[in-house]
Amino acid sequence: IESRHYPERLKYVFLSQRARAETLVQQRQPGLIEAIIRDQRRNPAYDAKLGHTLFQLMVPLDYKAAAREQSRLLLVLDEYTANLPWELLQSEGEALVLRIPMVRQLATSRFRTRVRSAGSNSACIIAAPETHGFNRRFPTDIKALADLPGAIAESQAIEAQLRNAGWRDITLTPPGKSALDILNTLFERPYRVLTIAAHGIFEAQGRDGRAYSGVVLSDGQLITAVEVSQMEVVPELVFLNCCHLGSINNGYSTPNRLAYSLSRELIEMGVRCVVAAGWAVDDAAACSFTSRFFERMTQGDSFGEAIFQARRSTYERHPGSNTWGAYQAYGDPGYRLR
């Protein structure tokens, strides 16, 4: 978003157990927060000072005490505020999302009125598709993007947790599958759970002059919001990790906006819960987060509690990484996979 489009004010509505909804309009310096996080979103290292500064800038003075006192938080965000890193906010020496469960919901006027869901415990796990031929569609010298061993390990961890819970109908695509193989698998049949771990790009200019966003496949093809919207049967739970291009200095990666663009389409389709990486992640920490999240979901925890436990476990095992806060969780906090 160009600097002239940064809003000068943000509107906050605080819903509590009282009979009123408190509304506050906060004046802000346009572009300040955006400038602070512009480079940091590609850095998976934990910076407590950054989280404290973001809390001071992003939470209105009148709501700071209330934010610290909550036992859980549900953030209802619009198109603009969804791109801000609410998960990294820190107060009194600890990140809010490590102290209490916090889940997002997206305010939207677009939605699918009739939603069909899978009738059985089926899962589709897409891991590290082939990316050879990337430069055929995009003006770059890169013929194929880097391998993603972390994405493969993450996908195998998801499969293991589902199988431990008794799921047998699982499709795990082997690494290096072509665009056609991936699309065939995606549309082959209904899935209750869909996970994708791959390279992603946001508004990358193709050789035809158009801007493209989505999951990178072979020959420069993509899974975009358009293909996602064509899924007739809607998954209940979707897990996306598509920000690995943050390690390539080519201007193709804007993790928070890529996460939002794909999440928005899924939410408007009627997906119950979406988890998407909106920040660069550490591979080992991402695998820990994913494994713990699916462990808790398959054992009966609610979505909000599973996300909370995954964040805390990842922080304890990888205290130098901010991967616990990189994942944006949208959905019904009370949803259960069982």
Secondary structure, 3-state, 71-115: CCEEEEECCCHHHCCHHHCEECCEEHHHHCCEEEEECCCCCCCCC
158 by Cβ neighbours in 10 Å (0-12 / 13-18 / 19+) ranks as: buried
Q: Is the pLDDT of residue 246 over 50?
A: no
Q: Is the pLDDT of residue 253 over 60?
A: no
User: 112 or 56: which carries more pLDDT confidence?
Assistant: 56
What tens digit of pLDDT does each residue of 185-200 get?
Answer: 999 999 999 999 999 8
Report, as an integer, the average pLDDT of 112-117: 86
For position 292, what pLDDT does the model report? 97
Cα distance between residue 32 and residue 51, in whole Å: 15
Report, as an integer, the average pLDDT of 235-242: 92
What tens digit of pLDDT does each residue of 225-234 get?
Answer: 888 888 899 9
For position 305, what pLDDT does the model report? 98
What tens digit of pLDDT does each residue of 278-332 get?
Answer: 888 888 999 999 999 999 999 999 999 999 999 999 999 999 999 999 999 999 9
255 pLDDT band, cuts 50/70/90, is: low
Report, as an integer, the average pLDDT of 78-103: 92
Q: Please list, residue by residue across 236-263, b when 16 or more beta carbons sit within 10 angstroms of its beta carbon and e when fewer do.
A: bbbbbbbbbbbebeeebbbbbbbbbbbb
Report, as an integer, the average pLDDT of 236-253: 62
For position 334, what pLDDT does the model report? 96
For position 115, what pLDDT does the model report? 87
User: 246 or 77: which carries more pLDDT confidence?
Assistant: 77
Pick from 48, 46, 89: nearest CA to 70:
89
Report, as an integer, the average pLDDT of 91-100: 93
Pick from 248, 241, 325, 319: nearest CA to 283:
241
202 pLDDT band, cuts 50/70/90, is: confident
Q: Is the pLDDT of residue 2 over 70?
A: no
What tens digit of pLDDT does each residue of 25-44 get?
Answer: 988 888 888 888 877 777 78
Beta strands at 94-95 and 237-241: parallel, antiparallel or unpaired: unpaired
Secondary structure, 3-state, the chain: CCHHHCCCEEEEEEECCCCCEEEEEEECCCCHHHHHHHHHCCCCECCHHHHHHHHHHHCCHHHHHHHHHCCCEEEEECCCHHHCCHHHCEECCEEHHHHCCEEEEECCCCCCCCCCECCCCEEEEEECCCCCCHHHHCCCCCCCCCCCHHHHHHHHHHHHHHHHCCCCEEEEECCCCCHHHHHHHHHHCCCCEEEEECCEEEEEECCCCCEEEEEECHHHCEECHHHHHCCCCECCEEEEECCHHHHCCCCCCCHHHHHHHHHHHHHHHCCCEEEEECCCCCHHHHHHHHHHHHHHHHCCCCHHHHHHHHHHHHHHHCCCECHHHHEEEEECCCCCCC
Report, as an integer, the average pLDDT of 96-123: 90
- pTM comes to 0.90
User: 91 or 112: which carries more pLDDT confidence?
Assistant: 91
Tokens of 16: 């509590």
Q: Indicate the average pLDDT of the chain.
A: 89
How many Cβ atoms are within 10 Å of 16's Cβ, its own excluded? 10
Q: Is the pLDDT of residue 3 over 60?
A: no
139 by Cβ neighbours in 10 Å (0-12 / 13-18 / 19+) ranks as: exposed
247 pLDDT band, cuts 50/70/90, is: very low
For position 320, what pLDDT does the model report? 93
Hey, which residues does 275 pair with through a beta bridge? 239, 329
Beta strands at 122-127 and 169-173: parallel, antiparallel or unpaired: parallel
% of the chain surpassing 90 pLDDT: 58
Tokens of 164: 């431990």
